[in-house]
Amino acid sequence: MRVLVCVKRVAMVGARIVLTADEKDVDVRQLGFTISPHEECAIEEAVRVVEQRGGVVTVLTLGPPEAADQLRDAASIGANRLVHLVSDGRDWDPIATAGAIVDAIRRHEAADGPYDLILLGNEAADTGDYQVGVRVAHALGRPCVIGVKNLVVGEETVVAKREFRGGDELYELAMPSVVAVKEGINLPRYPSLPGRVRANKMAIAETTLEWRQGPVRLERLRVPSEPRERAEILGTGVDAVAALVDLLEQWGVVA
């Protein structure tokens, strides 16, 4: 099995996001970075598939030079090959992102044969565009399901499950296919010390790409006003219960 996982480096933002002076970006100077959460699960899923079936897990990221850290994190939990599409740090729009990923996939596949499975996160934690997986799949002419929280990889097909209005719906896709997964599909493992050591020695295949303005022009970012400021304390311990029940009655929650 040849599995490709596409991941994005995102900031770990706190309770209140701080913006840069021009209001066009998040001020990340005080922040750490991580792999976007759905994509951590995509890596874990790929590693499990290859542990069972044999094969290679390739992890690809489009991001600034520092995103090499996230590729090494992926390697430390079992990714075998690392691919870095190096950007200048500006966000790429979803069409350009999908295009860059597709170009890379075509290069890899021309050299090494097709990826049986391409995994992405359902949406990046920061921009939340919900579409790169579909665009990649469509450009490659491969079937795709998004929002997947359970995946069973067979010989020639994958069965993907996603939540739908209180139940689950199932999709069966012929491989090669593209699946965008969500947190909950698995619980990602923690890296081992030998995994870390191995990751630090691993080569990263780098290609530098030039940013292009997309069709959506960012004017400014802003932090929304929160609907609540500070809770009114009803009381401490069981003494507060009567006041709480009064509120529940007032709101019609307790008839």
Site membership for another protein, residue 32 (CB under 8 A): no
Examine residue 8 and tell whether it contacts another protein (CB under 8 A): no
Q: Does 21 bind another protein (CB under 8 A)?
A: no
Of the candidate spans 14-22, 42-50, 75-83, 195-203, the one that interacts with another protein by CB under 8 A turns out to be 14-22
Annotate 124-147 with DSSP letters as a single string. Answer: -TTT----HHHHHHHHHT--EEEE
Terminal C-alpha separation, the chain: 58
Q: Which of 184, 192, 211, 212 binds another protein (CB under 8 A)?
A: 184
The smaller minimum CB distance to another protein, of residues 82 and 151, is found at: 151
Instruction: Enumerate residues 6+ apart whose C-beta is below 8 A from 137.
Output: 118, 143, 144, 177, 178
Confirm or reject binding of residue 251 to another protein (CB under 8 A).
Answer: yes
Residue 202 touches another protein, criterion: CB under 8 A = no
Closer Cβ to another protein, 197 or 244, answer by number: 244
Burial 20-46 (b: 16+ CB within 10 A, else e): eeeeeebebeeeebbbbbbbbbbbbbb
Q: x/- string (CB under 8 A) for another protein, residues 84-113?
A: ---------xxx------------------
DSSP 184: T
Stretch that binds another protein, among 27-35, 45-53, 54-62, 182-190 (CB under 8 A): 182-190
231 binds another protein (CB under 8 A): yes
Q: Which span (27-35, 42-50, 70-78, 211-219) binds another protein, by CB under 8 A?
A: 211-219
By the rule CB under 8 A, 54 interacts with another protein: no
Pick the stretch among 44-52, 63-71, 199-207, 244-252 that binds another protein (CB under 8 A): 244-252
Site for another protein in 134-173 (CB under 8 A): 134-135, 137-139, 143-147, 149, 162-173
CB 136 within 8 A of CB 118: yes
Rounded Cα distance, 124 and 7, in Å: 9
What H or E segment, with its residue span, contains residue 53? Answer: helix 37-53
3-state secondary structure of 159: strand
Q: Smallest gap, in angstroms, from Cβ of residue 165 to another protein?
A: 6
Distance CA 160, CA 177 (A): 11
Q: Least distance to another protein from the beta carbon of 36, Å?
A: 9
**Nearest alpha-carbon partner for 34 in 5, 4, 72:** 72
